[in-house]
Structure formats: C-alpha cells, structure tokens
Structure 1
Amino acid sequence: MKRVKGGEEGSNGSCSKSPPPDARKKVRRELSEASEVVPASDVSEYDWSRLPQELLLHIFQYLPLLDRAYASQVCRGWNQAFHMPELWRCFEFELNQPASSYLKATHPDLIKQIIKRHSNHLQYVSFKVDSSTESAEAACDILSQLVNCSLKTLGLISTARPSFMEVPKVESSFTRTIIASFLSVCKAKNTNTIVTKQKGILCVADQCHGLRELALNYHLLSDELLLALSSEKHVHLEHLRIDVVSENPGQHFHTIKKSSWDAMVRHSPKFNLVMYFFLYEDEFGPFFNEEIPVTHLYFGRSVSKEVLGRVGLHCPRLVELVVCANGLRPLDEELIRIAKHCTQLSAIGLGECEVSCSAFVEFVKMCGRRLSQLSIMEEVLIPDHKYSLDEIHWEVSKHLGRVWFPDMMPTW
C-alpha cells in the first residue's frame, strides 16, 4: 500500500502532518498580530474561543487525535474546528479484541462519529486488525458503511494471521462487502494501490480500472490468479510484490508454472516483480527451478549457494539483489553466473557471506558501470593472491567509473 504523502501516522489512528513553511509563517504572523492587539496585562482575559478557524486548523494539525478531542470540549468554536474536513482526510481503524491483543482499539463511539460525520471526507483509510473473528466482522461492518466515501487508498493490515480466509461467514461477508459494495467507489478509477489478504483479488482487478500495484502473500498467489490478471484488458500492473514468509520451519510451498509467469510478462511487459524471501534453507525447493520474471529479489534469511546458483540461471530480468546472509562458503561461481546471465542487474547488496576479492572484481568488470548501487560489507571480501582489501577499492572504482569503498555497515 502507498504511503500517504505529506503526513505521518499519528496516535489513535489519525494522520498528523506538519503545515508547510508558508502556513507556519502565517500562523506566527497572526499570533504576533493577536499579541499586539491584546496588552500583555490583559492576556489572561483574552477570549481564546475567538481564534480564527484557519488558525485553529493549523494548530489542530499538530495535535494527536486524543488531544484534539480534549481541545474540542473547550468551547463551541473549538468543537467546530475539531470536525473540519481537512482534519479527516485519513484515518486508521484499529480493531483489536482486549482478550487476544495488547494493542489499543479505536473506541466504538469514535467509529460511529467518523462514519456519521466524516465518511464523505475520508480519502486514505487503513484497517489494522488482529486475528480474531470479531475484529474481522467489525472491519466488514465499517467497510459496508463507507460505500459513498471518496477513497483513494485502502489498506488492510493484519497484526497476526488474518481470520478472513478461515471463517466461512467472515470470508463471505468480507469479500462481498469489499467487492460488491465498497469497491463501487473504485469505479471512479482513482484507486491505485490495494494491499489485500483475501480471495477477492480477481474481483478487485475487475472493478479497479486504475489498479497498478498489488501486494500479497505468496500463499494467495496461484497460476489461476496470474492468468486471470493477464486476461484483464484494463489492468496493467506496474508492481507486483510477493512476500514469501515461513511461519513454521519445514513449511510447504506450492510452485508457480513458467507458463503463468510468461502470460503475465506478455500482458504487462514492463511490470516489476518484487519478491521478499524469509525462508529457512530447506524450504527453497519449489523456487527458481524454472525461469521467473523477478526484478527485485531480497533474501532476509540465510540462503544456500545452490539457490543463488539457480537465481543466476533463471532470473534474466533481475535488476536488484540483496543477500543478507549465506554462510562461510565463497560465492565466487554464483556471483559470476549472476553477472553473466542477469544482464539488467544494476544494484546488489551482500552481507554475512564470503566472496574472494578476485571474483568480486571480475563480477564488477562484467557488470560495468550499470551498477548504480553496490553495497558490500567489508567482511564479505576475502583477500587473495591478487588483491588485498587496501587495493580492491581502487580496482573496483576504475570499473565503476566512480569512487567506491566497502561498507562498514549495511545500507539496505
């Protein structure tokens, strides 16, 4: 899901953003004028309820939601400022059950007030839920009441394994709510990014004509899904992000056919396939045995020499590679193979693995100046008969066309 521009997430679900410099100057000027009008001796008698609404808006934008709520109780004018549409463009509903989660939940009265008074103002909405059925049903209920709001971004976030796909009643309710009712909003073609964890992905693609980015867990990915996305004439993905995460050691993962990936490439030739792997070494069996159009590849846990060797053979579209850990066996052959077959590679990061200085120089020489990002931990490079650590940066810099030094700490 895309991050909302110009703002940061505040407490209790609000988005707190700093006013632009010009606005801050205006606030200071108005405060200065107010102080000139009211003598210092009469400040205690000044009627703060008469502050201009524009000035109150700028002040309230600095405050977390709870503080704004307290301020709204001061007087009628401040209560009116509390409900200004500009303060309700974005909101995060936190739906957690006290019995199963230590996280705070958005108060039911606040949810009712938002739906009643601010549903038409909402543009950026996210739902953070725990794994309980009650929270899933609450999300469904809120979504069903936001049909007419002008949303641009929708995020569905689960702090644990979601229950939407496991409880038939919730699954049906959730899917129908989003697809049949809620996504009627998306027919305006202004929804660009959807992060989803339920089986309505195909219907999402059918309704969201502006859909360009899709992020999902690998267990939701299938040959049928890729073929269906490839058949949608109005959907041309620019980014497909896949998180491959192991919840338990030894977990089984299914295989996606090469023909399904080929259909996706034919339909959206320039799409970026971003894959994050957090697996144990013995779980990589289904991956990289055939050609896969991955462009950005991140290994968050240790990955074997064998798997990296398969990456070099079967990932011709690879643009970026990050290997956080491998072990103590040099990756010389694997790195050279990647340089030879992945002709679009322009960024690489290596940490907690080993590469001889000679092999690393050869790798850089083969990739040439297209390597715009080269983040290699100093501990990765092993001196040999040809290059020492003091000499290697000169040789690498020569082939890169710019000054380069090994990293002292990871930058990815």
Structure 2
Amino acid sequence: SQRGEMKRVKGDEDACSSSSEGPTESCKKVRKLQPSKEKHQEEEEETDVDLCEFGFDWALLPQEILLNIFQFLPLLDRAYASQVCRGWNQAFHMPELWRCFEFELNQPASSYLKATHPELIKQIIKRHSNHLQYVSFKVDSSTESAEAACDILSQLVNCSLKTLGLISTARPSFMELPKSHFISALTVVFVNSKSLSSLKIDDTPVDDPSLKVLVANNSDTLRMLKMSSCPHVSPAGILCVADQCHGLRELALNYHLLSDELLLALSSEKHVHLEHLRIDVVSENPGQHFHTIRKSSWDAMLRHSPKFNLVMYFFLYEDEFGPFFREEVPITHLYFGRSVSKDVLGRVGVHCPRLVELVVCANGLRPLDEELIRIAKRCTQLSAIGLGECEVSCSAFVEFVKMCGRRLSQLSIMEEVLIPDHKYNLDEIHWEVSKHLGRVWFPDMMPTW
C-alpha cells in the first residue's frame, strides 16, 4: 500500500536531530495547556510536549492535507519539503500543484531577477506538461530568454492550456527572434491545447496564418485575446478571429487592426457581447496617416454590446489627431500619453458622452478652462480624471468639480496645474473642492528628492 511504501522517520531521537534523514521541524516542541490541580485556580501552566513521543509521524500526513499545505507554500519551500521523505516527494508532484505556473527566464548578465532553475524546467516538461493549464512566461530583454521560452513552448505537445501569457518585462525580446521559429513554437500550443480561453501575446511576431491555426483549434473557448504591437498581423487576420470566435469578451489590439468590418463582425447576432475593447493608437513616425472609423460601425457595436468598455490609449503628435473625435465615439476610458491640443480636448467634450475616465499627460501653456467645463456638461458618467502638465484656473477647476459632484471617485491633479485667480488661491482651493467631493482632497505634489 502507499502508506507502507512511505519512508518513516527513524526513531524519536533521530527524528528530533538536525540530520538530513528527517525534518527538524517535525519535532519542534509544541505548547500544551494543562489546568492547575487547584480547584479554583484559573491560570494555566505551559509544558512542552514532543509529538514524536506519542508516535506522531509527519511523513504519514494524508495526501489531501499535504496538498492543502503545499498550495500555500512558495515553490522553493515546496521543493525543500519534497526532500523530507517519499510521501512528501509524491505530494510535491501532485497534478493540482502544477496547473498554474510562471516561467521566469532571465539572463544573469542582463537582469537582477531570479530565473526558474533549468532542472526544474526539465522536470516540469517531463512530468507535468499534461497538468499545466494556466501558464505565463516572463522574459527579460535578452534574445536568449525569448529563445528559451520558445524552446519550452515547442515541448508542450501533451499540454491542454487554458491561459497563456507571453510577457516581456523590458524591451520586446520576442520580436528579436526569427518569425518562423516563434510561430513554430506557438502553434504547438495552439494545435494541442484546443481549450484556450485567454491569450496574451503583445509585442510578438505572431502572424495571420498562426491566428488561423488558433481559430481552427480554439474558436469555441477563446474569451480574451491581447495582441497589441503585433506588426505581422493584418486587419484580415484579426477579422478571421472575430468571425469565428463568437465567445470573445475582451480584445486588445493596435489601431491599424481596427476596421469597420471588424466592428460589424463583433456586432453580429451570433457574437457574444464584448465587454472590453482596448485600442492603442501609436505613432511610429511624425506625420503618420490614420484611417477613420465610421460612426455607423460604432453605433452597430453599441447596439449589440451596450455596456462594453472602449479603452483608447493615444500616443500621437498634436498634428496627427485630425481623423479622431470628429463624430461621436463610445469611448469610456481615454488616455493621452503625449501632449494634446485644446482643440482635441474640446472635441472630446462634444463627441465622447460615455466617457468615464480621462487622463491627460500634457497640454501646453494654454488654460483648459472651457474644455473642462464642456466635458463636465456632456460627459455625465465621468468619475475619474488625471491632469499632468496642463494649466487650469482655480475657479474653472472648482466649477468643474461642482458640476461633476461626488461621482468623481478619482481626482488626480498636480499642484502645478492649478493657476490662482481672483477667487481662489492654492491654500483655499482644497477646502472648496473637498466640500463638493464630500471627502478631504488635496492636489498631488511633485516629490522632492
């Protein structure tokens, strides 16, 4: 029987020693409370009792209890515990402990982070590849780390992954690999899993043919796809995903993949309602041209998924905003990572009535008083705003807060943004703003070092 095969700790004295034959922790003294002999005495005396004296053997803990304990231990502690005895080693390899795993692949010369030990990776591939379900790869900026990730992926022929994430912690090292090498490794997972629900492959050389393989094997299960900064994917490639993966709930991609056809495909009757659509609008070269999405396409999307969040990140130069915010767009979360003009922010106030969150990194030296007031009037769901290198008069800012009221759950304004005027100075404004918010508020201050 399994119990008979387990290695027992040798004797009470050996088990309590610090030798490598048994865990020193197994014989730690425990506190046992014993009532005093005196009848009315409520104090208790503490005595140390050796569990080994009562024949207690930690090696004989039931596996279900060991599993519960091991699930709370970091991987390194589990590895140490697995050396105690055969039973604990068997518990270390229980499938339930290997369903979720994060491979950390870092090169000592380019990263200070610890990497997953190569021997552990071999053991996982040999014994647990068919147990893995939720897997992520964190790689540093080195090409060697990206190659190591691809090598592991290509060996997961017995896997049935539900989630997969490829994460570059620094520069996108997966883009340094030959495309054919990366695609070959990734399609191994696409073909063998057949139940992928979540896929994060930002900043990778994934292409249209590999997406077709993904759809052919996982169209019924795919719920989340994040693939921003994937230059080898065309609008036709992402349209193939939208046409076939009717259960998509969350989608993240670059603006060049967004099209009227894609929005209409996501709005078809057979498509499950999308919950989150994130679009990154990034300028690679100054003066880059951007296409326009028709209002009718956005309207179709909104009719089909009336509660979906449209998140847009803009990293454009000021003269590149021409095609945007000319007609109504159902944006809910809007972030400007570069300087944006007063004109563009004015158009936001007119054409983004669903806006919930707005972050402006920089604007220039012209006050945004009128633009903020317009946003407060039109964007009746706005609950979070952040302003960086901008200018707003104190009076206009107070009026903005007064119009939005207590629904402003997040208000992050740098102190340098607020310009004192005839009504308020910086010492007075926090009292007035706090009154309208219903909570204590102060502007953010630039840290001093």
Provide TM-score, normalisation by structure 1: 0.73
Match of 1:193 in 2: 224
What per-residue deviation string (whole Å, max 9, x for no partner) do you get for residues 186-223 of structure 1? 56966543333554645555665543122234454444
Larger radius of gyration: 2
2:344 is matched with: 307
Q: 1:327 pairs with 349, 353, 364, which one?
A: 364
For residues 392 and 95 of structure 2, the distance between their equivalents in structure 1, rounded to whole angstroms, comes to 57
In the alignment, which of 331, 334, 345 is matched to residue 297 of structure 1?
Answer: 334
The size of the alignment, in residue pairs, is 375
Shift of 1:369: 4.2
Q: Could you list the runs of 5+ residues in structure 1 that have no partner in the other structure?
A: 1-26
Q: Which residue of 2 aligns with 1:182?
A: 193
261-270 or 167-176, which moves further after superposition?
A: 167-176
User: In the alignment, does 2:155 pair up with 1:118?
Assistant: no
Query: Residue 151 of structure 2 contacts residue 185 of structure 2 at CA under 8 Å; is this kept in 1?
Result: no
Q: 2:184 — aligned with what?
A: 173
**Structure 1 residue aligned with 2:413, among 376, 381, 401?**
376
Measure how far apart 1:321 and its partner are.
0.8
Shift of 1:388: 2.9
The answer on 1:141 being equivalent to 2:154 is yes
Query: Within 1, Cα distance between the matches of 2:243 and 2:392?
Result: 47
1:356 CA displacement? 0.7
> Is 1:94–1:106's contact at 8 Å kept on the other side of the alignment?
yes
1:78 maps to which residue?
88
Of the structure 1 ranges 263-272 and 46-55, higher mean CA displacement relative to structure 2 is found in: 46-55
Q: Could you tell me how far 1:384 is from its partner in structure 2?
A: 1.1
**Structure 1 segment 332-351 matched on structure 2, within 5 A:** 332-351=369-388
Trace 1:10-409 onto structure 2 (pairs within 5 A). 32=30, 36-38=49-51, 49-50=59-60, 53=63, 56-57=66-67, 60-94=70-104, 106=116, 109-129=119-139, 132=143, 134=147, 137-138=150-151, 140-142=153-155, 144-146=157-159, 148-149=160-161, 151=162, 153-159=163-169, 160-161=171-172, 163=174, 169-170=180-181, 173=184, 176-177=187-188, 179-186=190-197, 192-196=223-227, 199=233, 201-202=238-239, 204-205=241-242, 208-231=245-268, 233-245=270-282, 250=286, 252=288, 254-259=290-295, 260-281=297-318, 283-400=320-437, 402-409=438-445
Larger mean CA deviation between 201-210 and 312-321 belongs to: 201-210
Residue 335 of structure 1: how far off its partner (Å): 0.9
Q: Offset at 1:61?
A: 3.9
The amino acid of 2:444's aligned partner reads M
Range moving further from structure 2, 118-127 or 57-66 = 57-66
Between the aligned partners of 2:275 and 2:403, the Cα distance in structure 1 is 29
Q: Distance in 2 between matches of 1:170 and 1:236?
A: 35
Change in CA separation of 1:191 and 1:165 when aligned onto 2, cut-off 3 Å:
farther
Letter in 2 for 1:182: S
Cα distance in 1 for residues equivalent to 2:29 and 2:221: 39
The whole-number CA distance in structure 1 between the counterparts of 2:300 and 2:93 is: 49
Q: Which amino acid aligns with 2:165?
A: G
- Compared with structure 1, are the counterparts of its residues 102 and 289 closer, same or farther at alpha carbon in structure 2 (3 Å cutoff)? farther
Q: TM-score normalised to the size of structure 2? A: 0.67
Structure 2 CA distance, aligned partners of 1:398 and 1:67?
52
Q: Identify if the C-alpha distance between structure 1 residues 182 and 72 changes in structure 2 by more than 3 Å, giving closer, same or farther.
A: same
Structure 2 counterpart SS, 1:322? strand
Per-residue CA shift, 1:237-259, capped at 9, x if unaligned? 1111233455x663736334134
The gaps in structure 2 that reach 5 residues or longer are: 1-24, 33-47, 198-217
Q: Percent identity?
A: 72
- Offset of 1:235 from its aligned partner? 2.8
Partner of 1:125, secondary structure, is strand
SS at match of 2:90: helix
How many angstroms does 1:339 deviate by?
1.9
Greater mean alpha carbon deviation, residues 311-320 or residues 95-104: 95-104
The one-letter amino acid paired with 1:237 is L
1:308, distance to aligned residue in structure 2 (A): 1.9
